[in-house]
Structure 1
Amino acid sequence: MSEPTLLVADDHPLFRTAVLHVLRERLPQFRTLEAASAATLGTALQEHPEVELVLLDLSMPGARGFSALLHVRGEYPELPVVIISSNDHPRVIRRAQQFGAVGFIPKSAPAEAMGAAIEAVLAGDSWFPPMAAERSEADAELAARLAQLTPQQFRVLLYLADGLLNKQIAAEMGLAENTVKVHVTAVLRKLACHSRTQAAVLVKGLETEDAASA
């Protein structure tokens, strides 16, 4: 039987090491894995179904704001995700909650608070700092629209937002160009977008207000 596992997805090696230290001190019964990009996160989740919690940074290579969170939630709806970010603006925290995270830990949090938050989430609770930001109906609507997409359609959407042509998306995903065309049509229909540009603007809405500091 595979050991229960925690996955830390963050592109900063020093911070990753600090989180892993907290996990090994507080939760020695769990094995730990690391990922430094959206791509390696996806691979790790495919190869390790025993992962019980993902600790996810918002600004990794290959991710656009909340896109990695939405992708994990879409592909593994039972897997809890906790955001760990240096951007702890109240609206960022509120959006993380609305897009399906079960917790949000500011990177400035002391090790003791970080450990307590992770233990609370593993026990089935959620953990968020106090928030002043109001729930956003626009974010709720965006999350609902994106939830209609299959995981593969969501990947197609992100490639669309990067300006890739169908032929390029097909090469990236290992699909036939006709298959990509079908996916693009479905994505635009489900999102009620009339053009690829509209879809790209919608994806831009996933970015944090200050993506560089997230």
Structure 2
Amino acid sequence: MNAVNEVARFLIIDDHPLFREALHSAVQMAYPEVDTVEARSIGEALELLAGAGQFDLALLDLSMPDVHGFDGLLQLRTRYPHLPVMIVSGHEDARIISEALSYGAAGFVPKSARKDDLAGAIRAVMEGAIYVPETYSVHQPDPESTDRADMVQRLSRLTPQQLRVLQMLRQGMLNKQIAYELQVGETTVKAHVSEILRKLNVYSRTQAVIEVSKLDNAELFRDQQGF
């Protein structure tokens, strides 16, 4: 818990009002004296983190309207590495749980969990533990998973501005479009792109987009509902 304020502060990131209400109830069960702030998208969460002070824990739904796959978790871990993030998901596949933990999640709890179990998971993570469901068995990483974890490590070296540029590259935006969006010169954008390629250890912007796109784990999320 932060030293400035003894009341625990939680950031609930979920686009479903009913789930936000359920999470708020579980948080209050774990910590009766609590300050909860809600975000309906990753973009809104990042704005709150930038302007609303410190939080002790973020509760994140993987399936958000403005991100794909683990992009939301990746953005939070890259920009706010000291903020514990616990995934609260409608999906319980061991591969998803393993991937989330490898990307720095502080815990993973299914949305089907009872409120008292969810409250217990929150307390465990707040006390420094890594929480996973009792039914979870460690998924042995394959070479592709190892490569993805390595790419996540490289992505963590990007500055917030470089991460924004990379996201725009993934959207197919040209340097002049990125410069206009960020209100900077094209020379600055070129410098950012060069640093992105160097830190990711790739040789072209196309290769960077391809390698980072592998983190979407489309094969794991396809046809899955209820995240």
TM-score (norm 2): 0.87
1:8-19 aligned at under 5 Å gives the runs: 8-19=12-23
CA apart distance, 1:33: 0.4
Equivalence for 2:206 = 197
1:137-148 aligned at under 5 Å gives the runs: 137-148=146-157
Deviates more, 1:54-63 or 1:128-137: 128-137
Gaps of 5+ in 1: none
1:16-35 aligned at under 5 Å gives the runs: 16-35=20-39
Between the aligned partners of 1:11 and 1:174, the Cα distance in structure 2 is: 30
1:61 matches 2:65: yes
Equivalence for 1:134 = 140
Q: Does the residue aligned with 2:215 lie in a helix, a strand or coil?
A: coil
Gaps of 5+ in 2: none
Between the aligned partners of 2:111 and 2:132, the Cα distance in structure 1 is: 13
Deviates more, 1:14-23 or 1:90-99: 14-23
Assess if the C-alpha contact under 8 Å between 1:103 and 1:126 holds in 2: yes
How many residues align? The count is: 214
Assess if the C-alpha contact under 8 Å between 2:69 and 2:221 holds in 1: no
Between the aligned partners of 1:155 and 1:191, the Cα distance in structure 2 is: 14
Q: Does the residue aligned with 1:18 lie in a helix, a strand or coil?
A: helix
Q: In the TM superposition, what whole-angstrom CA distance separates every residue of 1:146-191 from its partner, at most 9, and x where no partner exists?
A: 1221222112111111112222223333333322221111111211
Equivalence for 2:92 = 88
Equivalence for 2:163 = 154
Equivalence for 2:180 = 171
Assess if the C-alpha contact under 8 Å between 2:29 and 2:116 holds in 1: no
CA apart distance, 1:196: 2.1
Assess if the C-alpha contact under 8 Å between 2:87 and 2:108 holds in 1: yes
Residues 161/33 of structure 1: CA separation in 2 closer, same or farther (3 Å cut): same
RMSD: 1.8
Equivalence for 2:112 = 108
Between the aligned partners of 1:190 and 1:4, the Cα distance in structure 2 is: 36
Assess if the C-alpha contact under 8 Å between 1:52 and 1:80 holds in 2: yes
Is the radius of gyration larger for structure 1 or structure 2?
2
Between the aligned partners of 1:87 and 1:17, the Cα distance in structure 2 is: 19
Equivalence for 2:81 = 77
Residues 161/50 of structure 1: CA separation in 2 closer, same or farther (3 Å cut): same
Residue identity (%): 42
